[in-house]
Chains A and B, each alone.
Chain A
Amino acid sequence: MRSDGSSSAPLGLKVAATGGLLFLHLPIFLIFIYAFTTEEKSFAWPPPGLTTQWFAVTWNRPDVWEALSLSVRVAAISTLVALVLGTLCAAAVSRTRFFGRETISLLVILPIALPGIITGIALRSAFSLAEIPFSFWTIVLGHATFCVVVVYNNAVARFRRTSGSMIEASMDLGADGFQTFRHVVLPNIATALLAGGMLAFALSFDEVIVTTFTAGQQQTLPIWMLEELIRPRQRPVTNVVAMVVVLVTLLPILVAYYLTRDGDQIAGSGK
């Protein structure tokens, strides 16, 4: 951090920065405005009138609840799977040396680098080849492929910064494997797992491409939104849902941000 925090940037830079930030966030603000518009067929600007009736309408729409509930369940289960598999994989890769370690590391990270459409097509053909019917679980599997990556990345970074002799020290002091995991490993990686888990949840929650290939008739929230945009009635309902989603996801992201910031201090203090 520069110490001369008071020194001023040139006016041009300030204007450019403000412009950039506005460009990023003004559209989101527009989404919020349209949630209150009285016009339901098209998004006219400025809104002809303001109303809160769409909140009540949204509340009473069963399809919204179904989509929301499916998305939350898929994201929760995918995150859970990712937490277990990602942590185990990270522990193996960072704690031991074995033949093909680098390859495994690359293969684990690959799904997030691959375009979603490839993952989607690959999974779809694999599922039909194995004659697995599309269901809730096929969506979870699809999402887990990239959720594992974010948990893995977070956990591996933390494992690398944790001293390896800490685990030996714990064993040396009389703790068995389970006690060592509970009292030493878990507290040291907990914040990394929380951050990774939240990111995984968020990724799964707004995933469209892989979901379209791995879902049957079910609609997750993002897919429901896409469908809704095509229909010409009760358009502001989509905006209400969007607004609620933004508000609800913003909180955990802020929490994760603060938690990992503290976590860095804890992990760094051992050095």
Chain B
Amino acid sequence: MTSAVSFQKVSRHFGSVRAVDMVDLDIVSGEFFAMLGPSGSGKTTCLRLIAGFEQPTSGSISIFGERAEGVPPYRRNVNTVFQDYALFPHLNVLDNVAYGLMVKGVGKPERQKAAEEALSLVRLPGYGARRPGQLSGGQRQRVALARALVNQPKVLLLDEPLGALDLKLRENMQEELKSLQKALGITFVFVTHDQGEALSMADRVAVFNDGKVMQIGTPEDIYQRPKTRFVADFVGSSNVLPPEFVQRYSGQHRWASLRPESIRIGRAAKGDGVAARLVSTNYLGATTRLALDADGLRLHAIVPAGATLPKEGEAVVLTFNREHLHLMDEPA
């Protein structure tokens, strides 16, 4: 497996702010890699470090084995799809897409042909003569994608590209991006704050917080086996259980996570389990989300819709399979 992008102890400080702090990353060639984290967690700065818009304060970055520090953006075989698309308003769609080839000195007929092909790839054939202003948000997004892909980059960077789209369009684009990535075999590095998006699209996910990488792994790893309280809480809102609580059930004084769907609800005074009180129910369609209070510890459970539920305020007993209790690395 070739390494597409590799970060070794990379830091980027803005004054006293450590936007990126000693990050080690290894993005494998041909994979769909997501950088997930809340805003200000350093994921976008990492993307800009790969693109060359930022230079690391310390550490080293290599792209396909070549050192990237000091190499300007226009000499990197890396292209970006910007969050606001950044299409050139004074050029029509075809010239926008052909821009990268134009500045490289590719002849007009050749670059227009390549641009047409790229537009077909993103399912916008024949849109070349329009101005960016005449397109919808989803169409601009596709033009931005075509404009990046026409240069045949080794790595494609996507900075929250679906953030401005409505839900339906976003779901369509997620599938489309995924299949496009498979078909082209280009390494995609995708920045998002939407955990669902990261889990559904990526081969591997890096979870960022406070400029540090908290965990890197497959979506299953991240979701089922979070290493820290932050990952458990941020990715899929797992229940984070304190060491005292965990000790009673596993014998170990460690932090643990328990997925909301692993909790079963029973009537009070029926078998052993965690005594709790149902605080509220939240109907979500396919499932119902319950907020519970177990002696001051706030827990969430997800049950399939249609299950008979106790009333709000009623005492209940919570049970769960001990195998589902995931012990975390975080020190107690």
Contact = CB atoms under 8 A, between A and B. Distances in A.
Interface of A: 163, 165-166, 168-176, 179, 183-184, 187-188, 266-271
B151 interface: yes
Contacts of A163: 84, 86
Interface in B69-91: 72-74, 78-80, 82-84, 86-90
B132 A176 contact: no
A266 B151 contact: no
Contacts of B87: 169, 270
A86 B317 CA distance: 73
A168 B86 contact: yes
Interface string B260-299: 0000000000000000000000000000000000000000
Nearest to B99: A173
A169 B161 CA distance: 14
Interface size class of B (residues with CB under 8 A): 20 to 34
Given A170-B99, A269-B89, 16 more contacts: A165-B82, A169-B147, A171-B52, A171-B74, A172-B51, A172-B73, A172-B78, A172-B80, A173-B100, A173-B147, A174-B100, A266-B90, A269-B132, A270-B87, A270-B89, A271-B133
Contacts of B84: 163, 165
Nearest to A184: B88
Contacts, number: 79
A171 B78 CA distance: 11
Interface of B: 51-53, 72-74, 78-80, 82-84, 86-90, 99-100, 102-104, 131-134, 147-148, 151
Given A179-B103, A269-B133, A173 B79 contact: yes
Contacts of B99: 170, 173, 175, 183
B104 A174 contact: yes
A171 B73 contact: yes
Given A179-B103, A183-B99, A269-B131, A171 B72 contact: yes
A267 B100 CA distance: 22
A163 B80 CA distance: 15
Nearest to B134: A269
A266 B79 contact: no
Contact of A188 (B72, B82, B90, B102): B90
Given A179-B103, A269-B131, A269-B133, A168 B90 contact: no
Contacts of A268: 133
A267 B89 CA distance: 7
Nearest to B73: A171
20 contacts: A163-B84, A165-B82, A168-B73, A168-B80, A168-B86, A169-B88, A169-B147, A170-B99, A171-B53, A172-B51, A174-B74, A174-B104, A175-B99, A176-B103, A183-B99, A183-B103, A188-B89, A266-B89, A269-B133, A271-B133
